[in-house]
């Protein structure tokens, strides 16, 4: 089913998606991660699968101010299975079946005083169907500055918490402007925590005092973006002015449940099952104008993986 979405809703989710990338970098303590995602679109034969691998290397520099240099490498392979007849006719010989996302980020963080830590980040990524050699439109540059007040491990805090404030920037087409970032985590009862922020707001309950198993209820966002190296004009009544598409994008807002199991203090399995409350799989031009909508019916969402944390 293809519906026309409200522009205000689209701008709302676009805003949060920029914060998505920034919040992940500011919070993550992952040294390595492998992950699988499956989105089987409802009332459709279309689907998306994503394979992800992440490696981060923190390098201590100065013991006095506890400064750390961080190198982050990430690779994502996205498999687009577009089988609905209308979509195949619209794509014609330009059917998109996959894209790749390769990211390099360099970060530096230091302890400002007893309570506050600052950080800066700069990076580049390739988001492309990579049907030809890499082009300038395949590259996206991004950066951010952060201030972190971390009381999670403070024995004097009655209810441990963490606050992250920041400002981020990305050259992603259609949303290349700076945005503020705020994220708040708190332990409010023994074995209970909550996080308010983007991309994820959740409430987590540990099933045992050892914290080896946890369940959570969450609201989150996910996004897939890729530059089309071979731009084309979709043949569809959705595109009466014969406009050319330049990228493919999927934006999804979710409510769901998750489970985590720690094999050791640092190695864990995680799995999430969710259903969308907002779903928009589409093709756009570089001004952010939607040219052709592929799917908008709310749909199930499944994601699982292993990660190693420090």
Digit-coded pLDDT (tens) for 193-241:
999 987 789 999 999 999 999 999 999 999 999 999 999 999 999 999 9
Residue 248, number of CB atoms within 10 A of its CB = 23
Backbone angles phi, psi at 253, to 5 degrees: -105, 135
Smallest CA-to-CA distance from 229 within 294, 92, 88, 133 is with: 133
pLDDT at position 252: 97
CA atoms of 44 and 61, how far apart (whole Å):
52
Residue 242, number of CB atoms within 10 A of its CB = 9
pLDDT band at residue 282 using 50, 70 and 90 as cut-offs: very high
pTM for this prediction:
0.87
pLDDT at position 207: 97
Residues 88-121: pLDDT tens digits?
999 999 999 999 999 999 999 999 988 899 999 9
pLDDT band at residue 157 using 50, 70 and 90 as cut-offs: confident
Distances (CA, A) of 86 to 65, 90, 230, 252: 59, 6, 20, 22
Contacts of 282 (CB under 8 A, 6+ apart): 248, 249, 250, 290, 291, 292, 293, 294
Q: Where is pLDDT greater, at 83 or 7? A: 83
Average pLDDT over residues 41-55: 97
pLDDT at position 175: 67
CA atoms of 184 and 203, how far apart (whole Å):
12
Tokens of 199: 């991309």
CA atoms of 143 and 160, how far apart (whole Å):
29
CA atoms of 23 and 17, how far apart (whole Å):
10
HSE value, Cβ hemisphere, 13 Å, CA-based, for 270: 22
CA atoms of 27 and 196, how far apart (whole Å):
13
Q: Which residue has the tokens 């101010």?
A: 65
Contacts of 77 (CB under 8 A, 6+ apart): 50, 51, 98, 99, 100, 101
């Amino acid at each position: 089913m293809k519906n026309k979405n409200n522009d205000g809703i689209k701008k709302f989710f676009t805003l949060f998606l920029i914060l998505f990338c920034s919040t992940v970098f500011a919070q993550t303590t992952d040294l390595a991660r492998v992950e699988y995602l499956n989105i089987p679109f409802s009332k459709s034969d279309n689907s998306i699968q994503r394979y992800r691998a992440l490696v981060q290397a923190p390098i201590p520099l100065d013991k006095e101010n506890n400064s750390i240099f961080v190198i982050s490498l990430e690779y994502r392979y996205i498999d687009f299975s577009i089988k609905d007849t209308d979509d195949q006719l619209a794509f014609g010989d330009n059917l998109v079946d996959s894209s790749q996302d390769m990211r390099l980020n360099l970060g530096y963080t230091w302890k400002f005083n007893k309570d506050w830590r600052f950080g800066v980040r700069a990076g580049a990524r390739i988001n492309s169907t990579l049907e030809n050699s890499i082009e300038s439109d395949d590259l996206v540059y991004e950066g951010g500055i952060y201030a972190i007040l971390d009381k999670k491990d403070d024995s004097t805090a009655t209810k441990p918490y963490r606050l992250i404030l920041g400002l981020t920037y990305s050259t992603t087409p259609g949303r290349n402007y700076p945005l503020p970032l705020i994220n708040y985590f708190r332990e409010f009862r023994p074995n209970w925590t909550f996080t308010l922020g983007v991309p994820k707001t959740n409430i987590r309950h540990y099933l045992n005092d050892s914290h080896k198993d946890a369940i959570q209820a969450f609201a989150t966002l996910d996004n897939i973006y890729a530059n089309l190296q071979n731009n084309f004009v979709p043949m569809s009544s959705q595109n009466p002015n014969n406009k050319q598409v330049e990228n493919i994008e999927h934006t999804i807002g979710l409510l769901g449940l998750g489970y985590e199991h720690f094999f050791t203090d640092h190695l864990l399995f995680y799995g999430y099952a969710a259903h969308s409350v907002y779903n928009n799989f589409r093709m756009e031009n570089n001004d952010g104008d939607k040219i052709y909508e592929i799917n908008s019916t709310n749909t199930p969402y499944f994601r699982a993986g292993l990660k190693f944390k420090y």
